[in-house]
Every structure is written in structure tokens, then in C-alpha cells.
A = this chain, B = another copy of it.
Amino acid sequence: MKTILTGNHAVAYAVKLSRVKVVSAYPITPQTTIVEKIAEMIAKGEMDAEFVNVESEHSALSVVYGSALAGLRSFTATSSHGLLYMYEMCWWVSNSRLPLVMAVVTRTIGPPWNIHTDHTDLMTLRDSGWIIAMAENAQEALDLTIQSFKISESLNLPFAVGLDAFVVSHTAEVVDVPDQETVDEFLPERKQAYRVDPNDVFAVGNIADNLETMRMRREMALDMEKAKGVIDEVGREFGEIFGRRYGLVEEYMVDDAEYIVVMTGAWSGDAKEAVDILRKRGIQIGLLKLRYIRPFPREVIERFDDRKILVVDRSFSMGHRGTLGIEVGNVVDCKNVVAGLCGVDVGFEDFKEMFERFVRGELGEVEWWI
């Protein structure tokens, strides 16, 4: 059913449709409306789950860690300082190989206090073994959340669904909300590699041998590689059922492109408009939207190593360059624009100008779009 939803409410509906059993979260703008909506649906009896109000994000993730260990499909959501506050638990969850889903509404890290979008917070998860996706709009937020449970549970890796603060989280737009039956068809019951149970006596997580532990990490690395296939496969299957196909990346006019812009997140929509404008002028430019940051779509990017690449970053790694600039630059040569940090608006007009300068060869290695 087509309706109007904010990105946050789209996530909330996806959580409900995914038959999540335990939700725990701590308020932080602009994440809060996700869990407020869930609390409301539970209170109204529309959703059959427990909502646990906690005293911090560290505990929010701990609660769902516990419930997920016990075999219950679980969900949390946070943003910025909240993510940093639960950071220890994020690593614990992934190193436990526990499937779990968390929405991360990307927001600037302070000081100064600032509630607007910036991808730096989400990027702090990139080493930890979480699968990381970014939604471009409310529809993707909903669709990715539903897929996330399936992907997470089939790989035993936690999944973070990113959405830009306000730009996606609070923008109300048209979303096609699938019905419960179809989602049930797509998303089977929760599965996981192990489950804590009073009747099966074992311990989870006690001290282990160094080499064995390193082997465990290597397996995680391999499963992350495997995730690439799983993501594309689940995205294809989703497409068959719901008519919207997903995968590691979205390729927009890249096949014949001489110039390719790589980016992620909500502003990709504006960038596509800018691509259209330049295309109309005969400039062969395309957009490669990274829908997933982890696993990193290295192989896809490699395919374009004969093109001119520009990476537009909404996060910066202090003392080096843009975060995606580093990542993509590891695969292909690229220019790097750092833009839109700390919630600075960047619209299609900006992209038009930026891409023009890129095509004219006017961009340096790392440019701050200020």
C-alpha cells in the first residue's frame, strides 16, 4: 500500500512486518521517532513485541544482545553520540556472531552539539564486523530493514541500516508498504548459529586461545566476503517478490560513463538529478551509489578502474582524507570531495557545479566543499 511515511516510520513498520519480538532503544534525536512509533504500535496491540525502555544506549544494545542470544528476533536504533556510547557493545555483538539489526540515523558528533546529518558516526562501525547499509530514502529504509534480518541471520553478522538525519529520517515521502503475508513469505523465522538455553549447558565468550581467536576473526572476514553474494541474492529475491531490486550498489548510468561519482546516502537522489543535467549536455557521467559500506563492494569498483572517479564523502578521517575516499582510493585512483559534514545542505545545484568542476579537471586530490 502506498502511503506517506518518514524514513523513521518506514523503519518502524519494517520492524513490525519483520515480526521482531524485542525492541530496546534509548532516545536520541533524530532516531527517537522510530522507537516512539514502535512503542505506540505495541501499546495499541498492532505489534506483538516487548519494548524495553533502558537508561542508556549501552544497555539498549545489551538488552537486545540478551534477547537475541535467547533466540528472539531483536532490534534497536540509535544515532551519533548514542552509537558512540554503545560502541563497546557493538563490537561485542559482532564478535559474538549474533544476528541483530540496528538502525543508525547518521548525525554529527559534537561538540558543538549538532543534530544534523554526517556519516562519520556510522563509519566508526566499519572495522567491527557489522554489515552496513545506507538508505537513500524512506522506501529504501523500509526495504533494507526487511532484508537486513534475512541477511543478518543467514550470515550470523549484525546489520546496521543507516539513514541520514532528517533528510531521510524525518522527511515524509511516498512509501509502498508491503503486506504482512508477503513479508512472511520473504522472511522466514529467525535462525542463528547458536542459542543460549537453560537446557543446553555451555558458556559463550570465555577466554580462548589466541590463535583460535584469530582464526575466528578470519572466518568473520570470509563470511563478510560471502555476504556480498548473499546481499545480492537476497536483494534479487526481494525484487522478485516486491518489485524493487536491491544489491551492494546502485549503478546509475555508469555503463558508458567516462566519469563516475561514488557516494552513499540520501543525497544520491540530488546527485542523480545533477547527472541527468550533465548527461543532457552530452557529458558521459554516471553515479555509483554504495548501498553497502560493509562488506565493501571492492569488486564492483574494480570494474571501473579505467574511468575517472570522484568520491563524494560525508565523513572525514582526520589526518588522512574522506572515509570513502580512503576506501575507494584503495581500489582505484580517485578524487575526493568532502561535503555536507555537520549537516551542511548539499543539493543538486551543488552537485551540478561539483561534477562540472570534476569533469573540467578542476578538483584537487581532496577538496572541501564549503
Contacts and interface: CB of A to CB of B under 8 A. Distances in A.
B114 A213 contact: yes
A111 B294 contact: no
A26 interface: no
Interface string A63-103: 00000000000000000010011011001101110000000
Interface string A181-224: 00000000000000000000000111110110111111011001
A326 interface: yes
29 contacts: A85-B87, A95-B111, A96-B111, A110-B205, A111-B206, A112-B207, A112-B208, A113-B205, A120-B127, A124-B124, A126-B317, A128-B318, A130-B318, A211-B344, A213-B342, A214-B340, A214-B342, A214-B368, A218-B338, A221-B368, A224-B318, A224-B319, A294-B318, A295-B319, A295-B320, A296-B320, A298-B320, A320-B330, A321-B330
A76 B298 CA distance: 39
A370 interface: yes
What is the oligomeric copy number?
Answer: 2
B210 A114 contact: yes
A87 B89 CA distance: 11
A235 interface: no
A14 interface: no
Interface in A287-334: 293-296, 298, 315-321, 323, 325-327, 329-330
A108 interface: yes
A217 B126 contact: no
A129 interface: yes
A147 B329 CA distance: 32
A16 interface: no
A109 interface: yes
Interface string A116-154: 100010011011111110000000000000000000000
A30 to B, nearest CB: 14
A286 interface: no
A227 interface: yes
A343 interface: yes
A341 interface: yes
Nearest to A334: B330
Residues of A in contact with B, size category: 35 or more
Pick from A94, A126, A220, A321 the residue with the most CB of B within 10 Å: A126
A325 B317 CA distance: 15
Contacts of A329: 329-330
A370 B216 CA distance: 11
Nearest to A95: B111
Contacts of A108: 213
A220 B294 contact: no
Pick from A88, A211, A215, A216 the residue with the most CB of B within 10 Å: A88
Contacts of A318: 94, 126-130, 220-221, 224, 294
A259 to B, nearest CB: 20
Contacts of A224: 318-319
Interface in A221-267: 221, 224-225, 227
Contacts of A110: 91-92, 95, 205
A221 B221 CA distance: 31
A217 B113 contact: no
A318 to B, nearest CB: 4
A184 B303 CA distance: 57
